[in-house]
Copies of this chain bind each other. A is one copy, B any other.
């Protein structure tokens, strides 16, 4: 501090200079255009590929398939591979997704450790990395900041976003301070490659190798191919679940509910519900829907391993359902023909209405509106005589129960026949009658 010096650098100054240099380089790096900012050309396309990911999710499975050709499938190994498939899948769905990304329940440390381990065995990145992206996916669904936006194509949301390099600055930022405070998350992130190697390949091979001496089968089937199936299944949450099915809660964004997606993804298929109620530990709310992840979490609760299972009140869920249904109905209603709106109809005098009928037009007055039923008489389900009895008259009462209480459909049909509104409407006849009965009665004037 104080005056500037020309004297040889002190240790502190040297450190400061080194820091400035690192900072300048970091800034320069940050400002350098990212490869994704450049269009894909014949010359640079390979620089757009994320080779590590291609290796992990494409090359290795192909090698695995090739190896499977030469590897007999032991019955126990098959059972073990399926069993381990469910465990590692559960690591992603119950662990990565519902526990860490959404904190939809709390877990004791033994359960957390188990989930961090088997989740690592699914080879889909560390909890920390996965949850950060997933939170961005929820916060910025379908926008450019969504790491796996289905708006960029089904294939992109399934696998493209990993196969192609991504500009990290594009992905939306999210708060993961809670994860940084979680010792197991931090540990798993730090030793991630060890976890993957051990839980992804060593452990599944060793079980088959040590217990029934099928090291190679364990490696190929319970290791490599099982990883491939778990990956593809969970990737479906990003692709299929944003593409196939119903939208009972909100249709502004892409998430959808479908039983097929649920079957493939251990219950993550009720994805429209999930995006609407992300901190609910359930994805399926009906007992008969397939959500084994929910069933596991519920069982862990009974065993004292999980607690604080969060649920949205059914009142909130039903509100959403009612609103979305209302939206659908309103849209449907707008596509239908409801007859000429009343305010667009010409006004007719009652005498005019009667005169028209005398000229032979089949007009009938119902609820103040003149209807032309000339073409309908022959089709009237109640017979020609009945409908003819209403012509030239105010048939409001007849139509509404006086003779027959017409169905809702009949009322709808009637609106198609509207041709005019009568001045004074159905009251006209009453005035005339009262004028006859009482000479002093003053007819209403409008």
Contacts and interface: CB of A to CB of B under 8 A. Distances in A.
A386 B173 CA distance: 13
Contacts of A323: 408, 412
Interface residues of A, number: 46
A103 B252 CA distance: 47
Contacts of A275: 407
Contacts of A102: 381
B316 A322 contact: no
Given A275-B407, A326-B329, A407-B276, A319 B412 contact: yes
Contacts of A325: 325, 329
A326 to B, nearest CB: 6
A38 interface: no
Contact of A316 (B250, B386, B412): B412
A315 B336 contact: yes
Interface in A414-432: 416
Given A315-B337, A383-B175, A383-B178, A408 B276 contact: yes
A319 B175 CA distance: 48
A408 B430 CA distance: 52
A333 interface: yes
A318 B409 CA distance: 10
Contacts of A129: none
A249 interface: yes
| Oligomeric state, in copies | 2
A48 interface: no
Contacts of A178: 383
A320 B404 CA distance: 19
Contact of A382 (B175, B381, B409, B412): B175
Contacts of A318: 332, 336
A30 interface: no
A130 interface: no
A38 B211 CA distance: 87
Interface in A370-427: 379, 381-383, 385-386, 404, 407-409, 412-413, 416
A311 B150 CA distance: 43
Contacts of A383: 175, 177-178
A315 B336 CA distance: 6
B408 A250 contact: yes
Q: Please list the 9 inter-chain residue pairs (A to B) with the smallest Cβ-Cβ separation, ordered nearest first.
A: A279-B381, A276-B409, A175-B383, A319-B412, A315-B337, A250-B408, A320-B409, A322-B333, A278-B381
19 contacts: A102-B381, A175-B386, A249-B408, A250-B407, A250-B408, A276-B407, A278-B381, A279-B379, A310-B379, A312-B409, A312-B413, A316-B412, A316-B416, A318-B332, A320-B412, A322-B329, A325-B325, A325-B329, A329-B329
